[in-house]
């Protein structure tokens, strides 16, 4: 719905453009810049897309200045306290909280799609034992497209739903298989009597030679972490899924593109990098030295788990995870308590430092999440895979929203060309080099 217009005039040519301004339900309005090119022959320039809304979406809302995160309108704090990961999945996918029967049907469907085709399971044997689990996860998710391609019509809502349930169900099985392959242990099959997170822990930690009991404290902690990571509007990996999906590509391949984008340390790879950094810092005495390095523009060192493109305030998810650390590390008797103490002190010191204060750099979701994964016994190289498992529902929800939008177009950004002007081809014998 257009409520107002923005008028722009070029003082040199006197040309004018009238741009439509679209309001959101909450949050900033957006200016439709399509008229700009017609009037002035110019594009907008926004490297890193910091000020560009690439789509409209009904799924997630963030107010970065106030530190607010809503999924389908519900505050993350309420979902974290009262909901479950399966319920949040349903909410993100369908737009509304489920009734009891709807939730039961959804859970049953997810439970019955958890197995992998045996041929797909054998793919893991092609990887070296020390392959990074994110590499294996991305490759195996992409390989799902080979199993479900001809049969998948992305324009059929029912087939889209089957795809959504399949990938949400299978991603923990893939993650666990990547973990087991790294250890050289046999793959463990899913169990239908377990809930989503208990089943993931079972596939991770059970071995055929002895019984394994899932610790309900661990399953609950994982469920909460998954709620907190389920979606985060148009972040780099979600935008990657949208861009890849906008070509009409097989959706499993689009999700695999999202897994790859998530891997980088500026995005989902930060959880692994935070623990490495905390170990590198070692003790509170070393904090000033590392803060100086983080401030030094000639050094590549950044305070991992700090800063966010959108949040210029506390990331509400970081607050919840920090509170969770106290209880989970206590209950699970983790050896990570000294690292948690160090993280708390690092946060305290950084939040008083002028550099971090003036740039509004606060702890983000990844600052404390690795400490919990580690307390659950999940190895560091698997942290980002855990993030991918939780974020799959977000990727799928955005992909489905985009595909079902009749106004969908292929994603195709433009550029400011800064290369050579037109020139004529020079025969190799005549070239000076
Ligand atoms: N340590 C030191 N300086 C920083 C940091 C940091 N972690 N983050 C930002 N800055 C500085 C940056 O150098 C710049 O300074 P100046 O204005 O003097 O040039 C200023 O703060 C603004 O930063 P930016 O790089 O322009 O911000 P961005 O929006 O492009 O990047 C970010 C956001 C998350 C990539 C960045 O803050 C960062 O690299 N953080 C560390 C990695 C991290 O924790 N990533 C997880 C993000 S949350 C979960 C997820 O998305 O998956």
Which residue has the least CA distance to atom 14 on ligand 1?
359
Question: 17 C-alpha to center of ligand 1: Å?
Answer: 35
Report, as residue numbers or ranges, the catalytic residues.
308, 366
User: Across the strands, what pairs with 210?
Assistant: 207
3-state helix, strand, coil in the chain (%, to 5): 55, 5, 40
Question: 302 C-alpha to center of ligand 1: Å?
Answer: 8
Q: Given this model, what pLDDT does residue 118 score? A: 95
Which residue has the least CA distance to atom 47 on ligand 1?
267
Q: How far apart are CA 29 and CA 7, in angstroms?
A: 15
Which residue has the least CA distance to atom 36 on ligand 1?
307
Q: Is the CB of 305 under 6 A from ligand 1?
A: yes
Q: Is the CB of 309 under 6 A from ligand 1?
A: yes
Q: Is the CB of 359 under 6 A from ligand 1?
A: yes
Q: Given this model, what pLDDT does residue 1 score? A: 54
Alpha helices (H) along 152-195 = 157-183
Q: Is the CB of 360 under 6 A from ligand 1?
A: no
Question: 358 C-alpha to center of ligand 1: Å?
Answer: 13
Which residue has the least CA distance to atom 44 on ligand 1?
305
Q: Which two tokens stand for residue 72?
A: 């389908």
DSSP state of 310: S
pLDDT in tens, 150-171: 778 999 999 999 999 999 999 9
In the predicted model, residues of the chain with pLDDT beneath 70 are 1-3
CA nearest 247: which of 408, 355, 391? 408
Q: Is the CB of 258 under 6 A from ligand 1?
A: no
Q: Is the CB of 382 under 6 A from ligand 1?
A: no
Question: 134 C-alpha to center of ligand 1: Å?
Answer: 22
Q: Is the CB of 302 under 6 A from ligand 1?
A: yes
pLDDT in tens, 372-401: 999 999 999 999 999 999 999 999 999 999
Ligand 1 pocket mutation pick from 76, 134, 307, 346 by most atoms within 8 angstroms of CB: 307
Q: Is the CB of 240 under 6 A from ligand 1?
A: no
Question: 308 C-alpha to center of ligand 1: Å?
Answer: 6
Q: How far apart are CA 256 and CA 65, in angstroms?
A: 32
DSSP codes, 238-301: HHHHHHHHTTT--HHHHHHHHHHHHTSTTTTTHHHHHHHHHHHH-SGGGHHHHHHHHH-TTS--
Which residue has the least CA distance to atom 26 on ligand 1?
309
């Amino acid at each position: 719905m257009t409520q107002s217009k923005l008028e722009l005039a070029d003082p040199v040519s006197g040309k004018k453009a009238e741009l439509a301004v679209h309001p959101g339900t909450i949050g900033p309005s957006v200016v439709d810049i399509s008229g700009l090119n017609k009037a002035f022959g110019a594009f907008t320039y926004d490297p890193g897309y910091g000020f560009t809304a690439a789509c409209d979406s009904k799924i997630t809302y963030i107010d970065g200045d106030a530190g607010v995160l809503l999924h389908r309108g519900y505050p993350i704090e309420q979902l974290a306290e009262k909901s479950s990961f399966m319920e949040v999945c349903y909410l993100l996918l369908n737009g509304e909280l489920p009734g009891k029967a709807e939730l039961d049907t959804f859970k049953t469907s997810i439970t019955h799609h958890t197995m992998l085709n045996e041929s797909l399971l054998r793919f893991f044997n092609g990887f070296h034992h020390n392959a990074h689990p994110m590499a294996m996860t991305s490759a195996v998710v992409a390989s799902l497209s080979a199993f479900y391609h001809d049969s998948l019509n992305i324009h059929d809502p029912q087939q889209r739903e089957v795809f959504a349930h399949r990938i949400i169900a299978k991603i923990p099985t893939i993650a666990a298989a990547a973990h087991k392959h790294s250890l050289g242990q046999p793959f463990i099959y899913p169990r239908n009597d377990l809930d989503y997170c208990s089943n993931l822990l079972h596939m991770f930690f059970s071995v055929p030679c002895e019984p394994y009991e899932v610790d309900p404290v661990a399953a609950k902690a994982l469920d909460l972490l998954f709620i907190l990571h389920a979606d985060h509007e148009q972040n780099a990996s979600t935008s990657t899924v949208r861009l890849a999906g906008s070509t009409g590509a097989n959706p499993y391949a689009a999700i695999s593109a999202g897994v790859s984008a998530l891997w980088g340390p500026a995005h989902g790879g930060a959880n692994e990098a935070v623990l490495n950094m905390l170990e590198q810092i070692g003790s509170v005495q070393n904090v000033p030295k590392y803060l100086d390095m983080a401030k030094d523009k000639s050094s590549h060192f950044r305070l991992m788990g700090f800063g966010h493109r959108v949040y210029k305030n506390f990331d509400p998810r970081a607050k919840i995870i920090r509170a969770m650390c106290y209880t989970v590390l206590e209950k699970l008797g983790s050896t990570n308590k000294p690292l948690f103490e160090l993280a708390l002190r690092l946060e305290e010191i950084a939040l008083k430092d002028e550099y971090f204060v003036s740039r509004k750099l606060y702890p983000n979701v990844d600052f404390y999440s690795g400490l919990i994964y580690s307390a659950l016994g999940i190895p560091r190289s698997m942290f980002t895979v855990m993030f991918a498992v939780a974020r799959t529902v977000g990727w799928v929800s955005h992909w489905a929203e985009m595909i079902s939008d009749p106004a969908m177009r292929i994603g195709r950004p433009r550029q400011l060309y800064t290369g050579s002007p037109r020139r004529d081809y020079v025969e190799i014998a005549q070239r000076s080099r």
